[in-house]
Amino acid sequence: MMHPDTEVRFINDVIGYGVVAKRFIPRGTITWVQDDLDRILTVNEVEKMHSNVQEQVEKYAFRNNKGQLVLCWDLAKYVNHSFNANCLSSAYDFEVAVRDIQPGEQLTDDYGYLNISEPFKAVDEGTGRDTVYPDDLLKYHQKWDRQLKEAFEDFEAVEQPLKQFVSSAVLEKIKTSLAKNEPLDSILNLYYAEK
């Protein structure tokens, strides 16, 4: 489920549509959480689908660390890629704003942690990267873990409208880690190693 202060807007002819903040979303805010309406598909299930449906799954789903395809039911499927993403997925089945997101700004992910199956060229944003690779999570997890660590410093202080969709066990684990200044689970836990 996407943060309630977001909406889909047309961005441009190259990118198409994207998810945009309707109001200010501070760093540390949960921006998306996997919920019961998100569809979890196995590769075998997708292979049995009509080719047109397979194309939609390939376009809008991401691969979790079990190799399953997660097809979001809501606006989340329109979150675009950026090498300078303002949201990052955590090891806890939710994403967090890693910096303040202003009204009218797009919410973006780095598709490098979504276990893509094939590399693809993306818009060059001057970050030194112009291609997303299936193994980007192995290369950049330490950088992303640092960004998440900083974002989680604000986790307890900001309004969290999506917190109700996160299990109490996960919330307690995060709260304990933060209180004891222990490391959070690494984003590397999201990696799926194809066999």
**pLDDT one digit per residue (tens) for the chain, 195 residues:** 999 999 999 999 999 999 999 999 999 999 999 999 999 999 999 999 999 999 999 999 999 999 999 999 999 999 999 999 999 999 999 999 999 999 999 999 999 999 999 999 999 899 999 999 999 999 999 999 999 999 999 999 999 999 999 999 999 999 999 999 999 999 999 999 886
Look at residue 92 in the predicted model and tell me its pLDDT: 97
Per the CB < 8 A criterion, the answer to whether 17 and 11 are in contact is yes
**What angle (nearest 5°) sits at the alpha carbon of residue 194, between those of residues 193 and 195?**
110
CA 136 to CA 159: how far, in whole Å? Answer: 31
pLDDT at 141: 98
Could you tell me which of 105, 101, 174, 99 has the C-alpha nearest to residue 144?
99
Q: Which pLDDT does position 148 carry in this prediction?
A: 98
Q: What is the pLDDT of residue 194?
A: 80
pTM, rounded to two decimals: 0.95
Classify residue 133 by burial, with Cβ atoms within 10 Å: 0-12, 13-18, 19+: middle
